[in-house]
Chain A
Amino acid sequence: MLKMQNVKKTYKDFQLDVSLEIKSGTVVGLLGENGSGKTTVFKALLGLISIDEGSIYSVEDKNDVGVVFSDSMLSQYYTVKDISTILKAFYKHFDEKFFLTKAVEMKLPLKKTIKKFSTGMKAKLKVLMALSHQAKVLILDEPTTGLDISARMDIYDMLRDYMEEDESRTILISSHITNDLDTLCDEIYIINDGKINFHEDIDRINETYGLIKCSEKEWQTLDKQFISNYCKEKWGYGAITNEKQFYLENYPKMIIENINLDDILLMNIKGERL
């Protein structure tokens, strides 16, 4: 289990203030716009930055953690073969055969320096590095940056295979591409301006959450007890509810749509909380 309790970290123009819990055997998505604090959360969990307050319960043995950072990589003068040698020296359970076989499958040249790789090739290599040493926990900060839809699906398939091999494995993943996380994740956290302001199970989001669209007049008379966020639009009001069925039954003429993660993310960033 990974846990952050009242963790605070202050920078000049930014303050992180989060609490979150990731249970073993789950895939948890962390969504947020650029600069919201996703990478700071990951770095705090991994002990790469100090924290000002709070407590963190993370994996003790680094052999059990696989990490991807979208903007960090080992020296780009290494080749895939060099990286295989290096990871074999570091990790107790590094599977060299799996690493090199998958690298060939992914069309990653074994003897070319990483400097000459495309963005997509580097992204694939980073994920492969994280998956090749039997890690119990994967912490993936925007692992699919720069990948096209086909390559992203390949990565997510690898992550699903990884989870299926051992039910106790855990993934914490961040991404801008919310629709990809819909089918991969069990839970979602949304972080905005350094604070977690949404947390929910994906199943619950799909079953009970809805997006209400109503006019100004309808908004005035709407029962708002199950509204979490709302946003004033040109045409009226948009709002998120976690009890879609209540509004379907009591306001049959109102537009109530199924919601997706993009809507939830946008509403948390641009909208107001009730």
Chain B
Amino acid sequence: MKALLIKDLMTMKKYSMGILYGFIIIVFVNLISEKIYFEQMVPMLMYMMCVQTLTTITYDEYDNGYPLLFTLPFTRTQYVLSKYVLSILSILPIIIVWLIYSLIIGANIQMIFISLLLYIFASSLYIPIYLYFGSAKSTVAMVLLSFIIIGSIALLFNLVGFATIIKLLQGFKVIMVSIGVLLFMLMSILISRAVMLKKDF
């Protein structure tokens, strides 16, 4: 799996300028503003890193790359696991910087933890979609899925009421949510593995 991560990090290096621009914008906005927007913009950066992980799948697949790639010495399961490991590794620097920043200014670090859980949830949702549909069709699939999720949430709010939902969510302990997200990630890995094991290249 180390070799797969090296390959993906080399791919990410190719478009690292985009990530760097994101950092520069955040720093610039914070410097010229009276108010610090770091906590608001970091989740956006994390979302960008999720997209970068998905982009490595695009680069692997692009121009019929899969047949040759999958003759290299690794298993399909290792390939799947490497994408999840990459998605976590790629946001570690952001988490560490955010943690240090929060500790310095004495901010609440719960936001970091919630953002991390949301990030894991999003990666776990998107990776199997990308692997199944391929990069071209998965954009459409993700847009449709986003509409379904947003529509379902809106419907739920209409039926049950916003206050009731917030009260319900506040009842969930962080540990329960964390376990739920990790279980969701495990399910995602199993689905991704099943997709890749069945795939013909």
Chain A interface residues toward B at CB < 8 A: 43, 46, 48-50, 61-63, 65, 67, 69, 71-78, 82, 85-86, 89-92, 126
Contacts and interface: CB of A to CB of B under 8 A. Distances in A.
A11 to B, nearest CB: 10
B68 A62 contact: no
12 contacts: A72-B64, A72-B67, A73-B63, A75-B59, A75-B60, A76-B62, A77-B59, A85-B6, A89-B6, A90-B72, A91-B72, A92-B73
Looking at chain B's contact residues, the main secondary structure is helix
B74 interface: yes
Nearest to A61: B73
Interface stretch (B7-15, B46-54, B116-124, B154-162): B7-15
Contacts of A92: 73
Nearest to B13: A82
A62 B62 contact: no
A15 to B, nearest CB: 15
A85 B14 CA distance: 14
Contacts of B67: 43, 48, 69, 72
A90 B152 CA distance: 44
Given A48-B201, A77-B11, A77-B14, A72 B68 contact: yes
B144 interface: no
A67 B200 contact: no
A69 B65 CA distance: 10
A89 B2 contact: yes
B70 interface: yes
B66 interface: yes
A48 B70 contact: yes
Contact of B72 (A49, A62, A76, A78): A62
Nearest to A89: B3
B31 interface: no
Looking at chain A's contact residues, the main secondary structure is loop
Contact of B10 (A62, A69, A86, A90): A86
Interface residues of B, number: 25
Nearest to B3: A89
A49 B7 contact: no
A64 B68 CA distance: 15
A176 to B, nearest CB: 19
A226 to B, nearest CB: 41
A85 B10 contact: yes
Given A72-B67, A75-B11, 18 more contacts: A43-B67, A43-B200, A48-B70, A48-B71, A48-B200, A61-B73, A67-B68, A67-B71, A72-B66, A72-B69, A74-B65, A74-B69, A75-B60, A78-B10, A86-B10, A89-B2, A90-B72, A92-B73
B3 A62 contact: no
B65 A90 contact: no
B65 A75 contact: yes
A50 B60 CA distance: 20
Contacts of B64: 71-73
Nearest to B75: A62
Contact of B71 (A50, A61, A62): A62
A67 B72 CA distance: 9
A189 B6 CA distance: 39
A140 to B, nearest CB: 12
Q: Which of B2, B65, B66, B73 has the most CB of A within 10 A?
A: B73
B54 to A, nearest CB: 15
Contacts of A71: 64
